[in-house]
Amino acid sequence: MPVESVPPFAIIVGAITAMGGLQYLTHGAAYGKPRAIGQDAFDRLVAARDERVKTAAASGRGAQK
């Protein structure tokens, strides 16, 4: 009798896992990187600063003082 409950449980777990996996893959395909979870204003400011530093270094300007 307990074995009869395994297939429905496996289907439910598989469906929930597939939903999460599809969301992860869709976001990765759309934006090229995994979704950033739990970012606050400070994290966004640091990411923007890092992006500015990368573009300045790539263009050859932006010497360190």
pLDDT tens string 6-64? 999 999 999 999 999 999 999 889 888 887 888 899 999 999 999 999 999 998 876 55
Residue that wins the pLDDT comparison between 40 and 65: 40
Q: In sequence order, which ranges of the chain are alpha helices (DSSP H)?
A: 6-31, 41-59
d(CA 43, CA 6): 43
d(CA 29, CA 17): 18
Tokens, residue 54: 């990368």
* pTM confidence score: 0.53
d(CA 12, CA 38): 28
